[in-house]
A and B are shown apart, each in its own frame.
Chain A
Amino acid sequence: MAPAPPARRIPVASVAALVFLTAATGFVLLVFAGRIPLVSEEASADGPVFYLVPYHYGFAIYDRQFLEIERIEVEEGTAVTVHVVPALALARETFLAYAERTLRAGIGGRPPGDPHIRHRIEEDLKLGDVEHIIGITAHPVHVTTNVAEVLGGRFFREGAPRTVREAVERKNPAIKTFTFTAKRVGEFDVLCVDSGIGGEGTCGWGHQWMVAKKALAVR
């Protein structure tokens, strides 16, 4: 085969490549600098508002008037705002009242009232200030609760709010808020998503059953 002559440089191509790479590099630098957002801004928070209480091991949902509801029901395209009020940030007796729901319902194949459930909840409480990572299936939602920082190593705070309303009105620092647009029609689960290394999540034994089936309904 004939030896290859030196490659012929095409100045136009070199300049074009130079311009393209300069533009691409500039774009990337602007993205790194935060001047060009790649992710669209959060939905505006002027839609319906709900309160979500993750507890050991389930979820309670409240509407804007703090009335407990079965699930969040919205129209497609609605911007939904959810305030997450962790039960651990509430008063001890309120937390225990929520935990009683788990006992009454039974989880993990254990029947309602099974003392093993109470025993495991008490064991998990000894873990201290656990966080839940709240997700809604098929939606861009995953929010880590903010209990650890607020409790600072204690299980419960003295003078903690007794109700969700009180926590909201007193602007409890453990409350986290997220807004999302309900873009898909259907029924979706609210759940604690992060299973951790051992499968027990960051919240303990009952994590794997901590799911509110079809708790978001988008019409």
Chain B
Amino acid sequence: MAPAARKGLGRLTRDVREFLLVRRIVNLRGFQFLVVLPTTAVVTVVTISAAVGILHPSFNFGTVFTWVVWWGALLASFVVFGRAWCLVCPVGAVGEWIQRLSLWWRSPYTAGLQLRWPRRLRNLWLATALFMVFVWLDNGYGMSNSPRLTAGLIVVLTLASAWIGLFFERRAFCQYLCPLTAFIGLHSLFSMFELRRQDAGTCRARCAGKDCFRGNTQAYGCPMGEFPAVMDSNLHCILCTECVKSCAHNNLALRFRPPGRDLWTSRRPRLDEAVAAAVVVGMATILPVLTLALLPGLRAILAGVLPAGSPPNDAPRLVAVGLLFVLGALVSVGVMYAFGRGARWAAGAATGGRALFAGCAQALIPVGLFKFLADLLDHGLRTWGAVFDVTRALLLDFPWNRAVPGRVTVIHLLTPAQVYLVQIGLVFCGLLFSLYAVHRVSRDLLGGREAAFAAFLPMAGLAFLLTLLNLWSLAVGLL
């Protein structure tokens, strides 16, 4: 039941369902509905206020709650609970409710066509592209400063989830189309919490029904199409606990674990997952540097060709940001692939370049994640006062949020230099996790101590390089 790696942590890594209260809550048929309900209420208010509320982003509950509170909580949740947001996300739930014709009970009926998702699209390619569009909407169009765009985004995603749920089986939208699925899933590899089967032998020898995947009369099969008996990473697990409810052998555990284990223990990532990891890491590390260095010049060049407009409808800027995104993604994948090949060459291995690229891309996730957290820290420390402003504004005119509550509150908890010091700590934290992951990846892929060390060096060098880029891009505001 407990692999050697977990023995040292003892009681800390035991199944949290050993606690009676947790077990009762998790086993409740309506568990997921009960946790989705509050977020549905909040997201409804967020959408209304963003759609019809005041256009000033600092007074709009929708924008502040989405881009300060939700985004911050999302990033922080990766570290502890992985895809916990997906558990409570009302966008995904809407598709499921329509598909199942039920809010929480096990319904034998469906309104959906239950088609299988096309085989060619069963990967993260589309999700990675949509993630780039999502970030482009923010960087190019300033979505996080636009209440109406924020509302539009939520509505479009909800409708997309509903349509996909109506036509395709399980949570195809969440797994393959949600613009955040790659971003959330890959960062969840780092998380300190997991859902796993306990004993492989029980699944092999005693379970013929595979209820965790197929479902039974009491519970649904895994909505993400995972087979928990062999699941070895958090990439797709949304912690909905359907498998826990359906397992007749009580062979599934929810437990804490050392952070980042999936980065080196999960099966070799597929190419689409590796590229998605490279892109996600690159968005945090390489893209900001490219933007700082190239955006003004590129925009100026495009201004001679494209009609200028005022932000956000500034065509030269929109195109320049879009081009930089594509360039950033290509550079990220190219650099990580080159370093993977370099690791193979250094180790003198005949094969395994692609595996080293994939392993390297995943191992660098902490460098990207902690850069996102460092950005969040700066943002949070500057804008946290807005949460109270928008709450006051919302209460003045609930739920329409049309009134000005007063002046925007600005209370800096730390000076920019102090923030930067904490950011340095976070960035180095990410580096340390990545170095350890790189070490484990190279050791597991190449076996021999010397070859593993030789492969470790180039990949560790890349982690250092990306860390330096992070430190530079974070410092630009101070210079």
Contact = CB atoms under 8 A, between A and B. Distances in A.
20 contacts: A1-B209, A3-B211, A3-B216, A7-B109, A9-B112, A21-B159, A24-B159, A25-B159, A135-B56, A135-B404, A138-B404, A139-B403, A140-B402, A142-B55, A142-B59, A193-B56, A193-B406, A193-B408, A196-B410, A197-B382
Contact of A10 (B58, B109, B209): B109
Interface of A: 1-5, 7-10, 13-14, 16-18, 21, 24-25, 28, 32, 38-39, 133, 135-142, 189, 191-199, 208, 211
A4 B215 contact: yes
A142 B56 contact: yes
Nearest to A17: B111
B214 A3 contact: yes
Contacts of A137: 403-406
Interface in B361-380: none
B303 interface: no
B403 A13 contact: no
Given A9-B114, A14-B113, A196-B410, A4 B404 contact: no
B51 interface: yes
Interface in B213-261: 214-218, 220-221, 246, 248
A138 B108 CA distance: 51
B114 A7 contact: yes
B266 interface: no
Contacts of A32: 152
A18 B159 CA distance: 12
B404 A142 contact: yes
B108 A7 contact: yes
Q: Which 6 A/B pairs are nearest by Cβ-Cβ distance? A: A199-B410, A13-B111, A7-B110, A135-B404, A140-B402, A195-B408
B425 to A, nearest CB: 23
Interface majority SS (helix, strand, loop, mixed), chain B = loop
Nearest to A196: B410
B171 to A, nearest CB: 15
Contacts, number: 126
B58 A194 contact: yes
B221 A4 contact: yes
Nearest to B393: A138
Contacts of B159: 21, 24-25, 28
A18 B111 CA distance: 9
A132 B248 CA distance: 66
Given A4-B221, A14-B112, A21 B412 contact: no
Given A13-B111, A195-B410, A1 B211 contact: yes
Contact of A1 (B108, B218, B405): B218
